Amino acid sequence: MQIIRKNFTLKLLSVTLAVVGWAYIRFANNPLVAAHFNQQLSVPITTVNVPLGFVAYYTESTATITIAAKRGVAPVKPADVKAVLDLAGRGAGVYNVPVELVAPDVAIQSLSPASVTLTLEKIAQRTIPVVVHYSGPRQEGVVVSGSAALSPQGVVVNGTSSALSQVVEVRVNVPLPASPRSFDEMVRPVPVDGSGREVEQLQVAPDLVRVRVEFVAAQGAR
């Protein structure tokens, strides 16, 4: 017993250091343990070097990145990491573009998605006349006097070539009144397809058109 008690504190310290050293060697490189300390970030996916006059469409909006943590080093800030799609030198078409990371000197464990499928389309514009579309149930005894006055009579529509090809007309909707009245309002012009549905993702300039219509009583109506 005296052998054990002699220099007991030093012996206990030696055993403790030995256990700590063994644990470090045993677990420091264990992937399951290391994974517990890895840092995971979610960053937005953006495009760079988009050709002038083109626009890119893609569904993947964020990238998930796993970074191998370094002991004693502060975690990486999400703002310091960029996930980009480089579109330099590309024309209109569908591409599978690798996700490139712009980040500090870190060890990347995983990246998802590794690539993104996108469509690159050319932006075009058309000047299209505006037409009046009367909406709602037709009222007996009320008719339009002459033609509607529009200012301006045409608008400029900007968008991708595929979206512009769907547009058959740009209309302003005017509700039919129940009784004679003067209509003088600013109305939003709407580009529509052959089925009368609005074609989205288009910009119309100007975004309001002045519409003046005179609704009068039909001849013979009481």
Q: What pLDDT, in 10s, does the model give residues 22-54?
A: 555 554 454 444 445 688 888 999 999 999 999
The full 3-state SS of the chain, as one line of letters, equals CHHHHCCHHHHHHHHHHHHHHHHHHHHCCCHHHHHHHCEEEEEEEEEECCCCCEEEECCCCEEEEEEECCCCCCCCCHHHCEEEEECCCCCCEEEEEECEEECCCCEEEEEECCEEEEEEEEEEEEEEEEEEEEECCCCCCEEECCCCEEECCEEEEEEEHHHHCCCCEEEEEEECCCCCEEEEEEECCEEECCCCCECCCCEEECCCEEEEEEEEECCCCC
Domain 38-113: which topology? RNA Polymerase Alpha Subunit; Chain A, domain 2 (2.170.120)
List the CATH code of the domain at 123-217: 2.170.120.40
- Are both 38-113 and 123-217 of the same fold? yes
Q: What pLDDT, in 10s, does the model give residues 116-171?
A: 999 999 999 999 999 999 988 887 788 888 889 999 999 999 999 989 999 999 99
- The domain segmentation of the chain, as residue ranges, is 1-36, 38-113, 123-217
pTM of the model: 0.59
Q: What pLDDT, in 10s, does the model give residues 5-23?
A: 555 566 565 656 655 555 5
